[in-house]
Structure 1
């Protein structure tokens, strides 16, 4: 009997071990806003210290040629979640009252993972539109994340510099008093709330006219808002609220695979770090917001460790586009920059066709499975969809994630083979091919990028070609000396434009 009992217990133990080994890994994407290639100490920053993110970089695969898909936020987020280039949707940075950008019948990363047994959540900045163009902020706000594959959502509806300045949990505004209804307009003033243009004396720091509408929490925003006073967020507490919701989601689903898309608002404007981080750097609020982001990242990782989930959780850490200093608010980010180089050695910033527009910190961390190493493989966030599908054994349909390539072995550091061609979206299209960077000529003249942001747009009516192996700063245009290569890269861009299904 004793031997039989031992035998049964052994079988049970082996069964438990097999189940644990066969369990699909949890997936967490930590998505920072406006974080540049040079904004982390693990990527060369010396004026700011980011020990928690550095832990991920030093313990996982740190990519030195990792890219978001576009030089602005909405297009990058669209491509990340759909595996589809944003130019196909003509996606641009959305106003706060825009309808849902992702069609409810389109396959998405959370939807694919949900089909494969995952519980899915998005927490943080959304900026992909909500509703069908006639959102009632006082009722059910839909369609939204729950209609495109997420089981749970806790959102800043658009982004922090745009109204409505509230949090949205699933379909409803958090903390709303129905006797103080919300009214939103991006065309004309509503209500009697002060604005930055009319009442600059009420502001914590000045803004341009575009950001000079309704004042919330001492900062003027884009668009007009009336009502909803009990629901209006305090920028300083939003990161903690996000962390709390993420911990709760993890706790509720720790016994089954989960996907968490944790989308920071930091370090996007308006930059209003909590008091505990003010003065953490000599760079003012932008530097302090980086430290705050690093702290919240560390607390999220610690919670996974505390629950014993870290070795079964893949963490992808990256940014939605390159860095920007003055993006509508005079918050001393320019004046106090000092020796810090937000874009590292690369040319351009957010909005730019140059390399710094899309080359961002990219880290994949999976302790116990992924070996720590640095990789110079050419990778893009657009490929996460097909790569995770490959990992969980999901066979993509012909029209699903059409621009995404399965590259899990590269993301896991098992291979150093990256993309042959990598598309970068901005005002125009650019293409990476090995050491070469080609920027498609365009007649568009986005003068506001230079005039308002002091950023080089990187566009020209002439073809631009750079050899990054000896010209990392994209200073010498060698297109006229390499006409055959220019023609080849131009044809590849045209092929991508005309062929949605690239697999």
Structure 2
């Protein structure tokens, strides 16, 4: 005989039903993804020197997470995990060089594939930096450039193929370079000799001709091919008619995003808008220059705020605001001098700041670093039809988008799909104040957050010490020490040992969700 359900079981069933949606109610989803935008770079999180009225307006109508994270403190691993629900280290994903092959296996589940299963159309606009082409096969930039976004679930794509400080400095629409002249074929390589091809435009080599860097000089690592007066990482030849203009890049991407929204307004869509701002080389449009007292970095953030406002405006103009989920976030924390002498960085005795502005807010560190400022980034979710505006202290992570949207769309994940993604839909909707019980953080080493406790292993840094004493592990309690100033590992050996064991098990496992 079937027993009647208890009140607790009925309540759980009701909550589950509230989290899933019928086909008619399925919202559009837009992810606006910044590049090197720190937690404290937006007004709603305390920025005083950079005006961000559009981002603040988005937050006022949505849920602002004060403990929201990307999975890693660098761009490619975070983008990988956002789109796959798998930690980048499981696939040896790190910051990719120019001409790198596609880092996402075409056979695995991705966020766009998940939405396509639910009948959505999917598009990506902006920075890619996840590799394009086949492993072991040189990418042919003069033909069909693939595999890439279209092979991992996107129906359309308009990209800068790598990132704006790397070659090739051209736009890619679908499988083809935009505006490429076949009489000036495009070649890309890691060494100058790789691209010295007869009949193709040759660009200055910043290694031997620093005077060619007329926009501003590089400080480190950005002195190969000089394009538009800016030194880049890697070499290219040819493609002169296809070169992007750094100062109009935001305008180009915003137009593509607006067109995508208008074209697809009558059917559910997923748009991944990955801005190049505020990544180096910072080259904001002249109409944004001087909008802050922070030079190129501050002005580029104002430009990104404008881009956010334009996407919101496109949704409003097409009557899509009410039932569209807009997610605003970033791929990692802030960085100041990241290869160009653009006048941004001012260094104090304790940390780097930008002329009185700290892009990480109260959190320690930033890009490349395992401390909170490396992965604790702006995370705002607006969905007027479902989400009550406010602030959430729930610990959440972008890697959990896939499992959470799978719940919302009533799609069951297989055991080998999105193995590190956990269903955090109630937290993302503002219905759960706690969020994740624990999570792994990745930089040059690994950390484990468990509630307010944070353990940093530093194990992987031993090989970098070159015979010197490796840094010892670190333990912090963020409730009493949010800025991670006092390593209390010696006072809490049992807690540290327990978290170290859990972190090792999670890293060695097949996935956090298992």
With structure 2 as the length reference, what TM-score do the two structures score?
0.90
1:20 Cα deviation after fit: 10
Other structure's SS at 1:29 match: strand
CA RMSD, Structure 1 to Structure 2 (Å): 1.7
Question: Residues 187, 445 of structure 1: CA spacing in aligned structure 2 closer, same or farther, 3 A cutoff?
Answer: farther
> Following TM superposition, where does structure 1 have runs of at least 4 consecutive aligned residues deviating by more than 4 angstroms?
445-448
Query: In the alignment, what sits opposite 1:183?
Result: 187
Equivalent residues of 1:427, 1:446 under 8 A apart: no
Structure 2 distance, partners of 1:135, 1:209, is 27
Alignment of 1:76-95 (within 5 A): 76-95=78-97
Other structure's SS at 1:367 match: coil
Unaligned residue ranges in structure 1 (runs of 5+): 1-18, 449-458
Other structure's SS at 2:312 match: helix
Alignment of 1:380-399 (within 5 A): 380-399=397-416
1:460 Cα deviation after fit: 5.3
Query: In the alignment, what sits opposite 1:465?
Result: 475
Query: In the alignment, what sits opposite 1:99?
Result: 101
Structure 2 distance, partners of 1:307, 1:242, is 19
Q: 2:162 aligns with which of 154, 158, 164?
A: 158
Query: In the alignment, what sits opposite 1:363?
Result: 380
Structure 1 distance, partners of 2:79, 2:112, is 13
Structure 2 distance, partners of 1:408, 1:398, is 19
Structure 1 distance, partners of 2:488, 2:462, is 22
Count of residue pairs the alignment pairs up: 475
Question: Residues 460, 355 of structure 1: CA spacing in aligned structure 2 closer, same or farther, 3 A cutoff?
Answer: farther
With structure 1 as the length reference, what TM-score do the two structures score?
0.92
1:443 Cα deviation after fit: 5.0
Q: 2:301 aligns with which of 282, 290, 301?
A: 290
Q: 1:220 aligns with which of 216, 225, 231?
A: 231
1:251 Cα deviation after fit: 1.5
Query: In the alignment, what sits opposite 1:6?
Result: none
Structure 2 distance, partners of 1:255, 1:440, is 50
Query: In the alignment, what sits opposite 1:455?
Result: none
1:495 Cα deviation after fit: 1.9
Structure 1 distance, partners of 2:284, 2:155, is 29
1:441 Cα deviation after fit: 2.7
Cα deviations by residue, 1:276-302 (Å, 9 ceiling, x for unpaired): 000000000000000000001001101
Are 2:303 and 1:301 aligned?
Answer: no
Other structure's SS at 1:432 match: strand
Structure 2 distance, partners of 1:415, 1:47, is 33
1:446 Cα deviation after fit: 8.6
Question: Residues 495, 368 of structure 1: CA spacing in aligned structure 2 closer, same or farther, 3 A cutoff?
Answer: same
Q: 1:342 aligns with which of 340, 359, 362?
A: 359
Structure 1 distance, partners of 2:315, 2:491, is 53
Q: 1:30 aligns with which of 32, 53, 58?
A: 32
Other structure's SS at 1:236 match: helix
1:246 Cα deviation after fit: 1.1
Q: 1:200 aligns with which of 200, 205, 210?
A: 210
